[in-house]
Amino acid sequence: MITTSLSIARTSRVPGAMRVPSCARPCARSTRSGAETPRNAGEPHRARHLRAAVPLQRHDPQRPRAGPARVASSGSTRMTLVGVDWGSSNLRAYRFGPDGAVIDRRESPRGAARLKRDEFPQVLADTLDGWLEADTRVVLAGMVGARAGWHEAPYLPCPADPAGLAAAALRAEDAPAHCFIVPGLSARSASGVANVMRGEETQILGSGLADGTIVLPGTHSKWARVEGGRITGFSTIMTGEMYALLRNNSLLGQLAEGDAPDEAAFTLGAQRALDNPAGVLPLLFSARADVLLGSLAPQAVASYLSGLLIGGEVAAMRDAAGQGVVLICNAVLAAHYRVALALAAVTDVAVVDGADAVARGLWRIGGLLK
Amino acid sequence: MITTSLSIARTSRVPGAMRVPSCARPCARSTRSGAETPRNAGEPHRARHLRAAVPLQRHDPQRPRAGPARVASSGSTRMTLVGVDWGSSNLRAYRFGPDGAVIDRRESPRGAARLKRDEFPQVLADTLDGWLEADTRVVLAGMVGARAGWHEAPYLPCPADPAGLAAAALRAEDAPAHCFIVPGLSARSASGVANVMRGEETQILGSGLADGTIVLPGTHSKWARVEGGRITGFSTIMTGEMYALLRNNSLLGQLAEGDAPDEAAFTLGAQRALDNPAGVLPLLFSARADVLLGSLAPQAVASYLSGLLIGGEVAAMRDAAGQGVVLICNAVLAAHYRVALALAAVTDVAVVDGADAVARGLWRIGGLLK
């Protein structure tokens, strides 16, 4: 089940785009972002309190579905840490050295939304085969902790800090090692509007938690506020999902031809979204009308629509941006958000790679586990 | 092909909801609204100039696909008028008395999007069978005039008045009578944002063309400005289509259970959309987050989402509403828009039935044909 196994010596820098497809549109960082998977959504909660300590199990050939990973032969007894970003569609595992550097990395397509509850232990054992020592702790973040995942780790309300997240981590007893599932976060605005995230909280921790606004573009973009080392609240904009729905399922997208990037069309869309005081809603249909009137090439529709939506996201959240933002995403998406943010006069933009951030966040929580 | 044949003596009032499903959500007035159908979208324009006069054809058994309707036996030679609202999914035909009252009405499921180009004459002949006299004029509006319809009647740019629409009507020579296809309208905002409509222009004419804002809620809601008897411009909000996409195709809708109306949830959604200065985009995800946090019943999600979207439409267009609006739609949709408009302090709301409006608009254009 292991699709990639890279040795990355003495650095947590993971090259390339791990969480975002290399396209010019907001077509999702990961389908797990902030969205509970619907499978078994109606199933009653279970396993809310699974903290009974369970020793590392030894391999037993009679229990292939829930057996442990093969324990590394080093025989070392020092504490080691493994981090797992287990989203809906795949999982990414990081093996940390004693200083927090990522010394090995693996990926598997066996995402949380594709597994039955009792399949999680074996998938984890397969993925981490050879990495586990007697006292290895495994920190898991993402949809693995959703209601329809392995065990539900209930949302922790904001404000939340790293120690709070570590304290609320859920220990899974049916695991091939000392496994802790990081909870998601919830927030509610002053007017009562609810938000949830699951996985992004770990990336935000990994970004350093400097005061300001952290933006995680994607299927469900998150705009989080960080104050005094805590995540104090956040908003969600369904930019990536809206793009996919409008491009692929709507009457709007039926005149579009292809998805080749068109920078001018993207910028035009973003500029219009930022200029229009009534917001992006009255602009979306122009992606179709302009084609019918011959003033937009069908080949430019996808980028124009992407510009409208990312511009609309930035316009809606411009007040939250304040002096600047930290973007957590890959380079392609960051370039597009930079364009829209610059049009909104937000030029103080730092970029943190999403895979980097999640690895550092997992390490940070792992160090705080009691 | 005739599914309904009602005699409605001396009145153009058509009872019940003709154009809107009886549901509490913006699930489309008609799929034709303002949206060119994609079929044959790439086909070159043709038949742009078809005004050569063609006498009414007599029935010829050798030409079953394009033959004429049976001419009514009255033998009258006075001018008579038939109006046809030919949308994507169905057509509705109105037979007018000499004073403009609808004296008979028929419907067919053979909408423009379901027909090949050469099928239109026979469908029209079947539908109007027995209605046509030697000098009967047939006025057709809607997607029948789209690029992928029978013959393309190019968009007429705003500002446009009834005489301009009548003058631009396209005569179809391959028709079972003197057939005129009403063009759609186009508009472009000061900042260059394009809009098109096809069919709604006839409803707006039929609503009386009083100065003010005319709102046609639906798949692609139109907000049109009328000044001095002319349609001077309009905007499009994809409220109905967005509702359907989010309810049926998105992660958002997967936690929803059923579509039973919930007035409180609708009002909550509309109020939030109107209260939020950042617009509706940062609110949509709350339809999911509130369910995951246990603060919204899955049974209320559909109405809450409808409230968010209709409230978001009204919020985006509040400046256009000014002192009041005329709604062209059925009673159920009107009730919902009244709620959202009242929350936005727009209480001067008149309602015109959509079927009424299109019949009166067809009559008005018919009287202006040269």
Tens of pLDDT, residues A186-216: 999 998 999 999 999 999 999 999 999 999 9
Contact B316 A283 (CB under 8 A): no
Q: Round the average pLDDT of chain A to a whole number and report it.
A: 83
* pLDDT at position B322 over 70: yes
Which member of B254, B286, B293 has the closest CB to residue A38? B254
pLDDT at residue A276 in the model: 92
C-alpha distance from B280 to closest chain A C-alpha (Å)? 9
Q: What is the mean pLDDT of residues B245-252?
A: 95
Which of these ranges, A46-60, A325-339, B242-256, B322-336, has the smallest mean pLDDT?
A46-60
Q: Calculate the CA A46 to chain-centre distance.
A: 24
Cβ pair A83, A368 in contact under 8 A = no
C-alpha distance from A170 to closest chain B C-alpha (Å)? 18
Residues of chain A contacting residue B195, judged by C-beta atoms under 8 Å apart: 285-286, 289
Residues of chain A contacting residue B313, judged by C-beta atoms under 8 Å apart: 281
Q: Which of B146, B252, B205 is nearest to B362 (CA)?
A: B205
Closest alpha carbon within chain B to A294? B194
Task: In whole angstroms, give the CA distance from residue A125 to residue A65.
Answer: 9
Q: Choose from B188, B251, B318 for mutation: most chain A CBs within 10 A.
A: B251
Task: In whole angstroms, give the CA distance from residue A120 to residue A148.
Answer: 12
* pLDDT at position A44 over 80: no
Which member of A196, A255, A286 has the closest CB to residue B293? A196
For β-strands B91-96 and B102-108, DSSP reports them as antiparallel
Which member of B35, B251, B296 has the closest CB to residue A288? B35
Give helix B331-343 / helix B301-321 axis angle, nearest 10°: 70
pLDDT at residue B226 in the model: 97
pLDDT confidence band for A128 (50 / 70 / 90): very high
pLDDT confidence band for A35 (50 / 70 / 90): very low
Residues of chain B contacting residue A311, judged by C-beta atoms under 8 Å apart: none
Cβ pair B169, B179 in contact under 8 A = no
Q: What is the mean pLDDT of residues A141-166?
A: 97
pLDDT at residue B70 in the model: 53
Please name each of the domains of chain A with its CATH number.
80-208+356-367 (3.30.420.300), 236-354 (3.30.420.310)
Residues of chain A contacting residue B192, judged by C-beta atoms under 8 Å apart: 272
C-alpha distance from B33 to closest chain A C-alpha (Å)? 11
Residues of chain B contacting residue A289, judged by C-beta atoms under 8 Å apart: 186, 194-196, 236
Residues of chain A contacting residue B236, judged by C-beta atoms under 8 Å apart: 282, 285-286, 289
Strand partners, B195: B187
**How far lies B113's CA from each of A20, A50, B172, in Å?**
38, 57, 18
Which member of B38, B236, B272 has the closest CB to residue A193? B272
Q: Choose from A147, A288, A317 for mutation: most chain B CBs within 10 A.
A: A288
Q: pLDDT tens digits for A224-281?
A: 999 999 999 999 999 999 999 999 999 999 999 999 999 999 999 999 999 998 899 9
pLDDT confidence band for A78 (50 / 70 / 90): low
Residues of chain B contacting residue A147, judged by C-beta atoms under 8 Å apart: 292
Closest alpha carbon within chain B to A196? B289
Which member of B194, B281, B288 has the closest CB to residue A280? B281
Cβ pair A195, A234 in contact under 8 A = yes
Which member of A235, A285, A312 has the closest CB to residue B238? A285
Give one word for B127, left, alpha or beta, with left for phi > 0 and alpha for psi -120 to 50: alpha
Q: pLDDT tens digits for B26-44?
A: 433 433 333 343 323 332 3
Q: pLDDT tens digits for B109-121?
A: 999 999 999 999 9
Give the CA angle between residues A280, A286, A289 to the nearest 5°: 165
**How far lies A266's CA from each of A283, A329, B239, in Å?**
14, 18, 23
* pLDDT at position B136 over 70: yes
Cβ-Cβ contacts under 8 Å for B262 (sequence gap 6 or more): B299, B300, B302, B303, B304
Which of these ranges, A49-53, B170-174, B212-216, has the smallest mean pLDDT?
A49-53
Contact B289 A317 (CB under 8 A): no
Who has greater pLDDT, A53 or B319?
B319
Contact B196 A293 (CB under 8 A): yes
Encoding tokens for residue B60?
């010829």
* Residue B172 parent element (H or E): strand B170-172
Three-state DSSP class for residue B322: coil
Strand partners, B106: B5, B93
Which member of A188, A236, A289 has the closest CB to residue B282? A236
Per-residue DSSP letter, B299: G
Three-state DSSP class for residue A200: helix
HSE, side-chain direction, 13 A CA sphere, residue B140? 32
DSSP A247-313: HHHSSGGGG-------HHHHHHHHHHHHH-TT-STTTTTHHHHHHHTTSS-GGGHHHHHHHHHHHHH
Who has greater pLDDT, A98 or B29?
A98
Cβ-Cβ contacts under 8 Å for A93 (sequence gap 6 or more): A82, A83, A84, A85, A105, A106, A107, A108, A127, A128, A131
Give one word for B72, left, alpha or beta, with left for phi > 0 and alpha for psi -120 to 50: beta
> Chains A, B: CB contacts under 8 A, how many?
163
First to last CA, chain B: 31
